[in-house]
Amino acid sequence: MNILYIGDVMAEPGIAAVEEVLPSLRTEKNIDVVVAQAENVTNGKGMSLDDYRRLRELGVDVFTGGNHTVALKELYPVLENPDEPVVGPANMHDCPGPGYKYVTVNGKKLLVVSLLGHIVGKHADWPTDNPLQTIDKILAAEDPAKRDALVVNFHGDFSSEKVIIGYYLDGRASVVVGDHWHVPTADAEVLPKGTAHMTDVGMCGSLDSSLGVKFESVLPRWRDGYQTRNELETTGRMQFNTLLVSVDETTGRATSVEHIRKVW
């Protein structure tokens, strides 16, 4: 089974990047399931129902979440519906939905889990529970025989946290992929017990920007010390970052992993 995990889709440029790359990439790499980080889809915060439908039509099968998932209440019924393939963080207090869902795509059954890191959680809209304890509870409650693969998304601030959860789940998850910082790390690998891991997969959207935001709207914070409003960058070069993982369906373990980065 080939699973593609797309990094943070950052606003309209991110959607455009998915539209540019995903259809042909899905065919080229014989991809069975496409998962995407959706917390930044609509103007950088949350995902609207219209944008949800657009990305579904472009070929995204499953959506993970982060600290901005709760920004748009129109998505709450989707998060709560077990038949809709969108999950928010499982350890965020009062976030709609369970934070994990079973999704069947092309005959492949995945358990998809979203988690928030400790530091992000302190600044999110709601407080969070310990992510390691949360994933332990989920895995204790769910029968491994019910799934072909387990995909865990860890949306966090510190690289150290993202590395730790990879090793913590090595041999228990098929894929553990980090995101949130929008800059890809150079460490995609299959860990010793068979879990594909990458600390941060990166983002989709504007390349000539500060994580998708205009440099001009960020510089005064660093140079002059006063708060400014983020302005999304919509011009210049584009980027598309994703992680491709092949999983042995008999064992649920990863056999190969590749970070794919396209710039134009």
d(CA 93, CA 52): 23
* CA dihedral for 85, 89, 91, 92, sign (positive or negative): negative
* Contact indicator for 22, 57 with CB cutoff of 8 Å: no
Of 68, 155, 180, 197, the active-site residue reads 68
> CB within 8 A of 248, min separation 6: which ones?
254, 255
Structure tokens at 29: 């790499």
- Is 68 an annotated catalytic residue? yes
> CB within 8 A of 62, min separation 6: which ones?
33, 34, 35, 36, 85, 86, 87, 103, 105, 110, 112, 151
Separation of CA 82 from chain center = 19
Q: What residue type is assigned to position 113 of the chain?
A: V
Rounded to 5, what percent of the chain is helix, strand, coil?
30, 30, 40
Structure tokens at 261: 């980065």
d(CA 165, CA 240): 25
Structure tokens at 139: 């895995």
* Contact indicator for 16, 52 with CB cutoff of 8 Å: no
Residues marked as catalytic: 68
